[in-house]
Amino acid sequence: MAPLLHLENITKSFGRVTVAKDMTLSVAPGEALGIVGPNGAGKSSLFAMISGDLRPDRGTIRFDGRDITGAAPHARTRAGIGRTYQVPRPFEHLTVFENVLVCGHQGARLKGRAAWQRTMEVLDRTGLAPLANTPAGRLGLLQRKRLEVARAMGTGPRLVLLDEVAGGLTEPEVLELVTVVRQLHTEGLGIVWIEHVVHALVKTVGRMVCLAGGDVVADGDPVEVLADPKVRELYLGAGPEAGAGTAAEVLQ
Amino acid sequence: MSLSAALTSRAAAAVDVRRAGRSATVSALMPLAAVVVLAALPFLVYAGVTDTLVNLFVLIALASMWNLLAGFGGLVSVGQQAYIGIGAYSVIAFAGQGVQPYLAILLAALTSVIFAVPTSWLAFRLRGDYFAVGTWVIAEVYRLVVVRVDSLGGASGKGLTGLAGIDQTLRGALTYWVALGLAFASIATCYLLLRGRLGLSLMAVRDEETAAGSAGIDVRRAKYLVYLVAAAGCGAAGGVITVSSLSVNPDAVFSVQWSAYMIFIVVIGGIGFIEGPLLGAVVFFALQQFLADYGSWYLVLLGAIGMAAALWLPGGLWGVMRDRTGLSLFPVGYHVRL
């Protein structure tokens, strides 16, 4: 099957710091891909380049066969790429309903009642419906993270980029969120998920990529990637023995 | 879309959304009633009163436009006097060509939009503080260019032709009605614009520009549209200033003082509320009338009030009123019946 998202020979650096080094990566339609890697590996920059907040120095990005390397962020959203931000960026003065509604209007190009309906569906799914009339500025962290997911869903995506949506949440909250994401995936939505909470990823994704120094160091089955000695050394920050133990714990 | 197909848990009838606000009928009737009463004033009061009220209506229009730009679009401009000046001079120029001056006000709005297009290319390269200072500089450039055009009267300005044949009382009343129409149209434009999908997009852009792009909003286009609308409004206001004063002076119409007035009015009235500039303009206008005899103390007091409002009333007077009463004359939000 032709890839839904295809990045080819992407290079990006800020002065002497390289966040992407000739990176090539594909995501198939409906695939759930997890991305791990140490801080500074270029994970968030990768998302910024896919969503259009950052332009690569070299290389091409294709979505659904179309070259979107130079496209504006809103054009990519309308093409079907939804995203969340690691540090939530709610529209603070708008209500939760309005936050998602504007995504339905502008991202999914819905009008009137169809947009309202879709917004409420998304709020139901993400557990935010009771807070529909609450200004987003008054939400707590879990709700802000949920709102990030809800807004991404509101744009009517075929692929969502989740940037550490589980970070900073308590264990039961992580489980709730994993349930939401898994359900979306089973309905055919493509997912690329950056996450430090590795057990949340392993429960959800079918494939995992480890980034380091702006390049892919491992790519494949999540269990195998986590067991890879290179990954253990890089990401888990420990020797092979300790790493094996951590990976095994993670997989339980 | 498999996902939309799956998301059918909510029946269409189950989603009950109202436009936020307590009393929609009151909201619609109060402004209309006010306009009817105000429209009758030239038949009821001395010309001195209506002449003074023209200034209030101009301030309402200007402040509404600035509120639209800054309070809803996040575009903090200190250079809207550029369009006041362009509008004022447009009326002079069109009247000189034989166009009826009152009709020339519409052309003044159009001229301002035409000038706003290339200006925005320049101004939109700047952000935040730089945008504010940049717009001021651009306004100064327009003033410096205008004073070099001899046919527009150069540095000393020019008188308005074309209203000489009209009886003075009738002229005063016509100017009053045109100014009232301008204030009404400014508020109505804000309301209709903000109630629609563009309005929600604008508020999202104001709150979080990066996230707005990811939400699918064409950020540039939203800002561009609101900038052009504000230019049209300020241009028309400049035109009204000309027909009211019957002459134009470059230093007066291109004065940065207009921006100071707009900011003061919006800050004390309540930024980000359509009602804010309306209330703020009335308060400012009253202060102006009461303090006119106190010389420079007038400015000192205005400054102190502006600072106090910015520090202790972040939502302005209307913000306080809305929090106490839940009243909204111009509801633009959404309320879901859960």
Q: DSSP letters of A124-161?
A: HHTT-GGGTTSBGGG--HHHHHHHHHHHHHHT--SEEE
Determine which of A94, A159, A184 to mutate to test the interface with B (most B C-beta atoms within 10 Å): A94
Residue found by looking up tokens 């006041």 in the block: B84
- For residues A87-95, average pLDDT: 94
Residue A45 maps to a domain: yes
Mean local confidence (pLDDT), A52-79: 94
Categorize the per-residue pLDDT at B21 as very low, low, confident or very high, splitting at 50, 70 and 90.
low
Helix (H) or strand (E) holding A100: helix A96-106
The pLDDT value recorded for residue B38 is 87
Q: Which of A98, A109, A185 to mutate to test the interface with B (most CBs of B within 10 A)?
A: A98
| Residues of chain A with C-beta less than 8 angstroms from the C-beta of B212 | 91, 102
**What is the extent of the structural domain holding A16?**
5-91+157-251
Ranges A177-191, A213-227, B40-54, B66-80: which has the least confidence: B40-54
Give the pLDDT band of residue B12 (cuts 50, 70, 90).
very low
Backbone angles phi, psi at A191, to 5 degrees: -135, 135
Dihedral angle of Cα A100, A105, A109, A112, to the nearest 10 degrees: 110
CA distances from A35 to A175, A207, A222 (A): 19, 9, 10
pLDDT by residue (tens digit) across B273-303? 898 999 999 999 998 888 878 888 888 888 8
Does A145 contact chain B (CB < 8 Å)?
Answer: no
Query: What number is the average pLDDT over the span A100-120?
Result: 93
Q: What is the pLDDT of residues A127-147, one digit of tens each?
A: 899 999 999 999 998 899 999
**Which of B1, B7, B211 comes nearest A121 by C-beta?**
B7
The predicted model gives A98-124 an average pLDDT of 93
The pLDDT of residue B7: 47
Decide if A147 is inside a domain.
Answer: no
Place of tokens 């799956």: B6
Q: What is the mean pLDDT of residues B24-41?
A: 78
Q: Residue A218: which CATH number? A: 3.40.50.300
Helix-strand-coil split of chain A, %, nearest 5: 40, 25, 35
Q: Nearest residue on chain B to A90, judged by CA atoms?
A: B208
Residues 6 or more apart whose CB falls under 8 angstroms from that of B200 comprise: A94, A98, A101, A102, A105
Residue A53 lies in a domain: yes
Kindly report the nearest CA distance between residue A81 and chain B, in angstroms.
9
For A91, the closest of B2, B203, B213 (CB atoms) is B203
Instruction: For A186-243, give the DSSP string.
Output: HTT-EEEEE-S-HHHHHTT-SEEEEEETTEEEEEE-HHHHHH-HHHHHHTS-S-HHHH
Q: Report the residue from A94, A116, A132 with minimal CB separation from B207.
A: A94
B70 has a pLDDT exceeding 80: yes
Chain A residues in contact with B206 by the CB 8 A cut-off are: 93
Q: What is the pLDDT at residue A252?
A: 43
Q: What pLDDT, on a 0 to 100 scale, did the predictor assign at position A230?
A: 86
Candidate from A45-59, A204-218, A226-240, B176-190 with smallest mean pLDDT: A226-240
Q: Which of A213, A161, A199 is nearest to A31 (CA)?
A: A161
Asked if A187's CB is within 8 angstroms of B216's CB, the reply is no
Number of structural domains found in chain A = 1
| CB < 8 Å from B in window 51-70 of A | 51-53
- Round to whole Å and give the CA distance between A99 and A90: 7
Give me the pLDDT at residue B27, please.
Answer: 65
Domain contains A52: yes
pLDDT at A244: 41
- Mean predicted confidence (pLDDT) in B198-218: 94
Residue A234 has pLDDT above 60, yes or no: yes
Q: Does the residue A215 lie in any domain?
A: yes
Residues of B in contact with A94 (CB under 8 A): 200, 203-204, 207, 333
Rounded to 5 degrees, what angle do the CA atoms A83, A20, A210 make?
70
Residue A146: inside a domain? no
* Mean pLDDT value across chain B: 88
Q: Which residue has the higher pLDDT, B163 or A191?
A: A191
Q: What is the pLDDT of residue B6?
A: 42
Whether the CB-CB separation of B305 and B268 falls below 8 Å is answered with yes
Across the interface, do A91 and B14 touch by the CB < 8 Å criterion?
Answer: no
Mean predicted lDDT score pLDDT of chain A: 88
Does B243 score more than 70 pLDDT? Answer: yes
| Mean pLDDT within B178-205 | 93
- Residue A130 forms part of a structural domain: no
* Nearest C-alpha in A relative to B10: A121
pLDDT at B3: 45
How many cross-chain Cβ pairs, A to B, lie less than 8 Å apart?
136
The dihedral region occupied by B271, where left means phi > 0, alpha psi between -120 and 50, and beta the remainder, is beta
Q: What are phi and psi of B17, to 5 degrees?
A: -115, 130
- With respect to residue A76, please indicate whether it lies within any of the assigned structural domains: yes
The pLDDT of residue B56 is: 94
Q: Is B12 on the interface with A (CB under 8 A)?
A: yes
- B2 pLDDT more than 70: no
Q: Is B272 on the interface with A (CB under 8 A)?
A: yes
Region at A66 (left for phi over 0; alpha for psi -120 to 50; beta for the rest): beta
Q: Which of A51, A111, A113 sits opposite B214 (nearest CB)?
A: A51
**What are the beta bridge partners of residue A11?**
A58
Q: What residue spans of chain B are helical by DSSP H?
A: 2-6, 24-44, 47-66, 81-96, 101-123, 128-146, 168-195, 197-207, 209-214, 219-245, 250-253, 257-269, 275-291, 296-312, 316-325
Mean pLDDT of A10-38: 90
Mutate to test the interface with A, among B2, B16, B208, B214 (most CBs of A within 10 A): B214
Question: Residue A235's pLDDT band (boundaries 50, 70, 90)?
Answer: low
